[in-house]
Amino acid sequence: MLRLTFLGTSAAQPTIHRNLTGHALRRERELFLVDCGEGSQRQMIRFGTGFDVAAIFFTHFHADHYLGAIGFLRTLSMAGRTEPLDLYGPRPARRLLEVMLFTGTERLAFEVRIHEVAPGEAVRRDGCEMRAFQTDHRTPSVGWALVEDARPGRFHPDRALAAGVPRGDQWGALQHGRAVTVAGGRTVRPEDVLDAPRRGRIVVLSGDTRPCPGTVEAARGADLLVHDCTFGDGEQPRALETFHATAREAGRVAREAGVARLVLTHLSTRYDREWQPLLDQAREEFPGPVEVASDGLTLELPLPD
């Protein structure tokens, strides 16, 4: 399973319809948050993401992307969490998040581990990596790419039998990438009975950024790109000034990277309910499927063949 839920899709300030930025990304048994704006925990309840968060990945430390973690950590503590929680983000993650741990007079009931990451670093998780990539914002920032491990290629029982490997434990060994020895002392290698490994899924979240090569590189061939879309064509100067992207620019990044699907988020309040032009502008640049995220939008990504 790989499921992304948008907890908030508004830039800088919340509106009636849109909360501040937050994403819940569930992959198999692990739940990650990417950014955690104010109000994220209530959105998690609304949209049923669960609270069993394994780690929080921050893109940068503008207040609209991380203040929600203060209250959320208190809730987890009151709920009796004991497992440690890992927080990852660019500098000054340590300085800002450490303060947050002591906000409120009660101590947290679980350990919080703060990790400052630089672009290019990857966080190893079960069956996947979260890779921090360089973005271009007004403050130190990264985007996050969830990159699943490759899966073994398809197993061909007929080839195994023809090679003299009987059905049983040795089939499992081959499927797990180990060579086996058959009667007569001959070695059968995994590649004799398996197709080439199949790639895993890639989900890329740009965070706040100008269009930049870091995102294009990280999103190359991605199943899904979620990109900053704070402005439309009419606000291009504002986008430059504030280091955000327009819908058109997000569309270009998606096209250059050759992603399968683009979702636009982090909308300026002026587009709160009038986002159709953003969609049109992105579509002029990117031929694939595009949508404008709304709070609660939940995307399931199927495994590629």
Beta carbons within 8 Å of 37's beta carbon, 6+ residues apart: 7, 8, 14, 19, 20, 21, 22, 64, 65, 66, 67, 68
Nearer to Zn ion, 65 or 201 (CB): 65
User: Is residue 271 a contact partner of residue 278, using CB atoms and an 8 Å limit?
Assistant: yes
Nearer to Zn ion, 11 or 130 (CB): 11
Nearer to Zn ion, 170 or 268 (CB): 268
Report the candidate in 35, 15, 32, 49 with the shortest Cα–Cα distance to residue 297: 49
Nearer to Zn ion, 223 or 228 (CB): 228
Q: Smallest distance from the beta carbon of 138 to Zn ion, in angstroms?
A: 7
| Rounded CA separation 140/143 (Å) | 11
Q: Smallest distance from the beta carbon of 133 to Zn ion, in angstroms?
A: 16
| Rounded CA separation 245/137 (Å) | 10
Expressed in angstroms, the distance from the first to the final Cα of the chain is 15
Report the candidate in 34, 31, 37, 74 with the shortest Cα–Cα distance to residue 56: 34
Nearer to Zn ion, 45 or 63 (CB): 63
User: Is residue 206 a contact partner of residue 225, using CB atoms and an 8 Å limit?
Assistant: yes
Q: Using CB under 5 A, which of 26, 62, 131, 248 touches Zn ion?
A: 62
The count of C-alpha atoms lying within 13 angstroms of the C-alpha of 234, restricted to the half-sphere facing its C-beta, is: 6
Q: Using CB under 5 A, which of 38, 208, 249, 285 touches Zn ion?
A: 208
| Rounded CA separation 65/62 (Å) | 6
| Active-site annotation holds for 64 | yes
Active-site residue, from 35, 64, 208, 228: 64
| Rounded CA separation 169/162 (Å) | 16
Residue 295 sits in the site that holds Zn ion (CB under 5 A): no
- Binding residues for Zn ion, rule CB under 5 A, total 3
Residue range at the interface with Zn ion (CB under 5 A); choices 56-64, 92-100, 213-221, 287-295: 56-64
Residue 18 sits in the site that holds Zn ion (CB under 5 A): no
Residue 210 sits in the site that holds Zn ion (CB under 5 A): no
Residue 26 sits in the site that holds Zn ion (CB under 5 A): no
DSSP state of 231: B
Q: Smallest distance from the beta carbon of 222 to Zn ion, in angstroms?
A: 21
Q: Smallest distance from the beta carbon of 160 to Zn ion, in angstroms?
A: 53
Residue range at the interface with Zn ion (CB under 5 A); choices 78-86, 114-122, 203-211, 253-261: 203-211
Q: Smallest distance from the beta carbon of 76 to Zn ion, in angstroms?
A: 24
Q: Smallest distance from the beta carbon of 117 to Zn ion, in angstroms?
A: 17
Both tokens assigned to 156: 């061909």
Beta carbons within 8 Å of 95's beta carbon, 6+ residues apart: none
Nearer to Zn ion, 46 or 138 (CB): 138
Cα dihedral angle (166, 171, 177, 180), rounded to 10 degrees?
-30
Residue range at the interface with Zn ion (CB under 5 A); choices 58-66, 119-127, 167-175, 245-253: 58-66
Collapsing DSSP to helix, strand or coil, 107 comes out as coil
* Binding residues for Zn ion (CB under 5 A): 62, 64, 208
Q: What residues act catalytically?
A: 64
